[in-house]
Amino acid sequence: MRENTVKIGLMGLGTVGTGVVRIVQGHQEDLQKQTGLAIEIAKVLVKNAEKERNISLDDDILTTDPADLVENPDIDVIVEVIGGINPTKQYMLQALENGKHIVTANKDLMALHGAEILSKAQEKGCDVFYEASVGGGIPILRALVEGFSSDRITKMMGIVNGTTNYIMTKMSKEGADYAEVLKEAQELGYAESDPTADVEGHDAARKMAILGTLGFHVDMNLDDVDCEGISRVSAEDIAHAKQLGYEIKLLGIAQRDGELIDVSVQPTLVARSHPLASVNGVFNAVYVHGEAVGETMFYGPGAGELPTATAVVSDLVTVVKNKKLGVNGRGSVAPYKEKHLKTDDQIVSKYFLRLIVDDKRGVLAQITRILADHDVSLEQVLQQPYNDGKQSEIILVTHQASRKNIFDVRKLFEEIDSVYEVKSLYRVEGGEE
Amino acid sequence: MRENTVKIGLMGLGTVGTGVVRIVQGHQEDLQKQTGLAIEIAKVLVKNAEKERNISLDDDILTTDPADLVENPDIDVIVEVIGGINPTKQYMLQALENGKHIVTANKDLMALHGAEILSKAQEKGCDVFYEASVGGGIPILRALVEGFSSDRITKMMGIVNGTTNYIMTKMSKEGADYAEVLKEAQELGYAESDPTADVEGHDAARKMAILGTLGFHVDMNLDDVDCEGISRVSAEDIAHAKQLGYEIKLLGIAQRDGELIDVSVQPTLVARSHPLASVNGVFNAVYVHGEAVGETMFYGPGAGELPTATAVVSDLVTVVKNKKLGVNGRGSVAPYKEKHLKTDDQIVSKYFLRLIVDDKRGVLAQITRILADHDVSLEQVLQQPYNDGKQSEIILVTHQASRKNIFDVRKLFEEIDSVYEVKSLYRVEGGEE
């Protein structure tokens, strides 16, 4: 019997883990038709084996001891959905040491220690797949690794965090304030009680590091990803952006220009005509531009029990098929390109700048002079009364400018007397060049 | 040297063939890094070996004799981009008989004779991949076969023909007539001089048969796909649809309801809020709904030299990787479900109906009575003067109704005296249920 059954050790029985059990149990016949083998959940690591759960698993399957999985000679594949770095990383390395294949949804682990995990897997002839770590149910990693294997990716833009996209969508649709919408998202369970990882862009940065590594064939570190969150985006910013024909999204952008690359996560004005602008709520999307293929986009649910579990179990199907073929651990391609990161003077973008200034003669002239001195030219300028006419509000959309220059400009604006406040500075994507 | 090089026989050096040569030549180093083997275009089948071409290939590589490829013991993989059924099918079967793997962009061949080709491949231990046959550069077949291998697909909706989408987009944006836009598309090379296969929906039907087979694991024939083209869609239809919040698209829909399936291609009103509604011009998109994953969409260029060639060469990379691993011909899963097609009384949809009627008392009452008698209830009704007030135009959007009932209703409308003409009948997707 053993040779016709693949035994799974499932780590974690939270939202995604429960989804994995449901799909493996519910789709048993289809999975067997596709892989030629039966898939059995043999052990499940939980924190509390006594807890009531609304799925059916034999009692002796649940365990609180990770060794029952990673040291268990009967287990072929570890499915890891507990998340976090410690002690998960140790479990993964131990499992690989014991020749077990891994399917994981852990973007933190893969973004921070992916190279180490994959190199251990290579050494041991094991598979490691992590489709669920980026874009939930969207099969974007397969698209990059297989679908575009013949192409050279030049740009990836991702709405890869559902929590922040829910918040930005709600702010845009209702004109509501950030704090108000965040509170509501927390009540609905769309945001954690400590929302830092989501709203400060750390979660998105991890996903962009994974996309950068796979899309550009370089060993991208999290430190290489410039990251800014949404907590300073105001209802007024969004209103102004809409007026100019843009939505504000927390957008990850990974770009390649010859050998030079740049990966960042920032609140970004996206032109309404761009397909990313209408990706709303908890949905995710990744736009991919390749030299040969041109523009493509992949859209779907970024999180949730069953969508994420679909990605996990589809990876499991690949591991099981590989096992049947005897080729586990032999399909992966390690990053083979040297990493050359762009410096701030090489990173160019259009920018949106909002200033509050004294309402007196010559201020706009002073501002445009500073911009011109830094090679920043303007596409749109809007000046209007602010604070009951005591001040003015100046909205600028620039043409392509270097990050260095725009940061120098901001610094100068913060120093001169006639500028009361630099309210916001965001990059702009998808309009006319 | 031989064991480190995979030799390709390329059939066809038109648009896509040229793109394949460009990518294989231009990305040689990347391809070798990814596959571990060099890829060499060893022979190219052309109609005229003397023709001037703006790609560099040695003269002795070009041949007009298919046997130089399919009977050539040096050739490992046939890349087929000549299209058509005859003699292509014979070449493919011969190549498989001789143990050669196949990558093809031929939707006609795969939709009509896919089962025969794949079964011969299975028998001979050969790979056959055909990603480029549906959705050009969009890796949609991989998404279905691998990305959603663990899920059960319930619905696929595709804008899978760029020519008709170009025409419908242009008609919608400019209020232009079908004949006028078709002529322009022909001049621009977006439509063939004989546009039948595109505008009558045959091309889209072939692609939907392929999607149906892979998504539902049944052996879908082209005859199973109900097909209606766009040639009767008028500028007025589009204007009315827009007024009600819809775009008209030539939409392929493959649906599964338990064991019952239905695949069709028809002009369809798509609600503006649906992501398919904003897929414009020659772009393609496939919306996929799975029981577990929910809503996803894949968007990209549906045709063109390099996008389609990307899909072809990415398939080639898979064949070469499989060859390196020694697992060619062992990964494919034949359809394993019995096919049960829905009958017209089981196929339900919302419908848009446009009638020209005599402007006299009681006509609307007569029409709504006929609808009620056939269990068709109405979501929207609009009546307005037509033909300088000599007649009336009645626009109806129904709730869910069976295809049988709506066809019976149309037949009755065509028979009664007070209805002057049934101008149009289209299904409606994506609005509220």
Interface confidence, given as ipTM, is 0.94
Whether the upstream peptide bond of residue A87 has omega within 30° of 0, thus cis, is yes
Q: Do A299 and B294 touch (CB under 8 A)?
A: no
Q: Do A327 and B331 touch (CB under 8 A)?
A: no
Secondary element (H or E) of residue B117: helix B107-124
Q: Do A325 and B331 touch (CB under 8 A)?
A: yes
Q: Do B34 and A149 touch (CB under 8 A)?
A: yes
Residues 6+ apart with CB under 8 A from A375: A401, A402, A405
At A433 the pLDDT is: 52
> Does A14 show up as a binding residue in the annotation?
yes
The dihedral through the CA atoms of A209, A210, A214, A219 has a sign that is positive
Q: Do A142 and B143 touch (CB under 8 A)?
A: yes
Q: Nearest CA to CA, how far is A288 from chain B (Å)? A: 9
CB contacts, 8 Å: B275 with chain A: 278, 299
- Average pLDDT over all residues of chain A: 95
CB contacts, 8 Å: A317 with chain B: 146, 149-150
> Does A245 show up as a binding residue in the annotation?
no
> Does A192 show up as a binding residue in the annotation?
yes
**What is the CATH code for B2-134+305-325?**
3.40.50.720
Residue B284: closest C-alpha in chain A:
A296
Q: What are the tens digits of pLDDT across the range B218-256?
A: 999 999 999 999 999 999 999 999 999 999 999 999 999
Please state the φ and ψ torsions of residue A131, each to the nearest 5 degrees. Answer: -50, -40
* pLDDT score of B199 more than 90: yes
Amino acid at A104: T
Percent above pLDDT 90 for chain B: 92
> Does A5 show up as a binding residue in the annotation?
no
- Average pLDDT over all residues of chain B: 95
Q: Do A143 and B143 touch (CB under 8 A)?
A: yes
Q: Nearest CA to CA, how far is B317 from chain A (Å)? A: 7
Specify which residues A262 forms β-bridges with. Answer: A255
Can you tell me the distance from the alpha carbon of A144 to that of A290, in angstroms, rounded to the nearest whole number?
10
CB contacts, 8 Å: A303 with chain B: none
Q: Nearest CA to CA, how far is A293 from chain B (Å)? A: 4
* pLDDT score of A192 more than 90: yes
* pLDDT score of A230 more than 90: yes
At A359 the pLDDT is: 84
The pairs formed by B274-277 with CB atoms below 8 angstroms and a separation of 24 or more are B274/B429, B274/B430, B275/A278, B275/A299, B276/B157, B276/B159, B276/B249, B276/B251, B276/B429, B276/B430, B277/B246, B277/B247, B277/B249, B277/B430
**DSSP class per residue in B226-273:** EE--STT--HHHHHHHHHTTEEEEEEEEEEEETTEEEEEEEEEEEETT
Copy the structure tokens of residue B326: 């020694």
Q: What are the tens digits of pLDDT across the range B325-335?
A: 999 998 888 99
Residue B34: closest C-alpha in chain A:
A333
Q: Nearest CA to CA, how far is A146 from chain B (Å)? A: 7
Can you tell me the distance from the alpha carbon of A335 to that of A317, in angstroms, rounded to the nearest whole number?
24
Average pLDDT over residues A276-290: 96
Q: Nearest CA to CA, how far is B137 from chain A (Å)? A: 6
Nearest Cα to Cα of residue A78 among A305, A35, A109, A67:
A67
Q: Would you please indicate which residues of B are annotated as catalytic (active-site) residues?
A: 207
Can you tell me the distance from the alpha carbon of A217 to that of A254, in angstroms, rounded to the nearest whole number?
12
Residue B286: closest C-alpha in chain A:
A298
Architecture category of domain A2-133+305-325 in CATH: 3-Layer(aba) Sandwich (3.40)
CB contacts, 8 Å: B316 with chain A: 150
User: Residue ranges per domain, chain A?
Assistant: 2-133+305-325, 140-301, 348-429
- For residue B152, give the nearest of A30, A151, A217 by CB distance: A30
Q: Do B149 and A27 touch (CB under 8 A)?
A: no
CB contacts, 8 Å: A331 with chain B: 321, 325
At A153 the pLDDT is: 98
CB contacts, 8 Å: B33 with chain A: 217, 333, 336
Q: Do B142 and A142 touch (CB under 8 A)?
A: yes
Q: Do A292 and B307 touch (CB under 8 A)?
A: yes
Can you tell me the distance from the alpha carbon of B155 to that of A389, in angstroms, rounded to the nearest whole number?
56
Residue A130: closest C-alpha in chain B:
B147
Q: Do A149 and B318 touch (CB under 8 A)?
A: yes
> Does A83 show up as a binding residue in the annotation?
no
Mutate to test the interface with B, among A6, A146, A278, A282 (most CBs of B within 10 A): A146
Q: Do A317 and B150 touch (CB under 8 A)?
A: yes
At B2 the pLDDT is: 58
Catalytic position from the list A100, A120, A170, A207:
A207
Q: Do A23 and B294 touch (CB under 8 A)?
A: no
Residue owning tokens 């041109």: A294
3 state SS for chain A: CHHHEEEEEEECCCHHHHHHHHHHHHCHHHHHHHHCCEEEEEEEECCCCCCCCCCCCCHHHEECCCHHHHCCCCCCEEEECCCCCCCHHHHHHHHHHCCCEEEECCHHHHHHHHHHHHHHHHHHCCCEECHHHCCCCCCHHHHHHHHCCCCCEEEEEEECCHHHHHHHHHHHHHCCCHHHHHHHHHHCCCCCCCCHHHHCCHHHHHHHHHHHHHHHCCCCCHHHEEECCCCCCCHHHHHHHHHCCEEEEEEEEEEEECCEEEEEEEEEEEECCCHHHHCCCCEEEEEEEECCCEEEEEEEECCCHHHHHHHHHHHHHHHHHHHHHCCCCCCCCCCCCCCEECCCCCCEEEEEEEEEEECCCCHHHHHHHHHHHCCCCEEEEEEEEECCCCEEEEEEEECCEEHHHHHHHHHHHHHCCCEEEEEEEEEEECCCC
Residue B16: closest C-alpha in chain A:
A292
Q: What are the tens digits of pLDDT across the range B259-274?
A: 999 999 999 999 998 9
* pLDDT score of A432 more than 80: no
Please state the φ and ψ torsions of residue A319, each to the nearest 5 degrees. Answer: -60, -45
Can you tell me the distance from the alpha carbon of A155 to that of A16, in angstroms, rounded to the nearest whole number?
30
CB contacts, 8 Å: B146 with chain A: 139, 142, 146, 314, 317-318
At B433 the pLDDT is: 53
Q: Do A146 and B138 touch (CB under 8 A)?
A: no
CB contacts, 8 Å: A291 with chain B: 306
Q: What are the tens digits of pLDDT across the range B4-43?
A: 999 999 999 999 999 999 999 999 999 999 999 999 999 9
Q: Do B149 and A318 touch (CB under 8 A)?
A: yes
At B393 the pLDDT is: 95
* pLDDT score of B1 more than 60: no
Whether the upstream peptide bond of residue B87 has omega within 30° of 0, thus cis, is yes
Q: What are the tens digits of pLDDT across the range A371-397?
A: 999 999 999 999 999 999 899 999 999
Note if A337 is an active site residue. no
Mutate to test the interface with B, among A32, A296, A305, A322 (most CBs of B within 10 A): A296
Q: How confident is the model at residue A360 (pLDDT cuts 50, 70, 90)?
A: confident
> Does A12 show up as a binding residue in the annotation?
yes
> Does A163 show up as a binding residue in the annotation?
no
Q: What are the tens digits of pLDDT across the range A126-173?
A: 999 999 999 999 999 999 999 999 999 999 999 999 999 999 999 999
CB contacts, 8 Å: A30 with chain B: 150, 152, 217
Residue A296: closest C-alpha in chain B:
B300
Can you tell me the distance from the alpha carbon of B237 to that of B397, in angstroms, rounded to the nearest whole number?
13
Copy the structure tokens of residue A129: 């797949």
Mutate to test the interface with A, among B28, B30, B151, B259 (most CBs of A within 10 A): B151
Secondary element (H or E) of residue B163: helix B162-174
- For residue A150, give the nearest of B23, B138, B292 by CB distance: B23
Q: What are the tens digits of pLDDT across the range B110-145?
A: 999 999 999 999 999 999 999 999 999 999 999 999
Copy the structure tokens of residue B44: 């190219």
CB contacts, 8 Å: B294 with chain A: 137, 300-301, 304, 306-307
* pLDDT score of A88 more than 80: yes
Q: Which superfamily does CATH assign the domain made up of A348-429 to?
A: ACT domain (3.30.70.260)
Q: How confident is the model at residue B303 (pLDDT cuts 50, 70, 90)?
A: confident
At A64 the pLDDT is: 96
A-B CB pairs within 8 A amount to 183
Architecture category of domain B140-301 in CATH: 2-Layer Sandwich (3.30)
Q: Nearest CA to CA, how far is B377 from chain A (Å)? A: 32
Amino acid at B29: E
Residue B307: closest C-alpha in chain A:
A293
Can you tell me the distance from the alpha carbon of B297 to that of A176, in angstroms, rounded to the nearest whole number?
29
Nearest Cα to Cα of residue B430 among B213, B195, B249, B197:
B249
Average pLDDT over residues B52-66: 91
Q: Are A78 and A109 in contact (CB under 8 A)?
A: no
* pLDDT score of A79 more than 70: yes
Residue A305: closest C-alpha in chain B:
B292
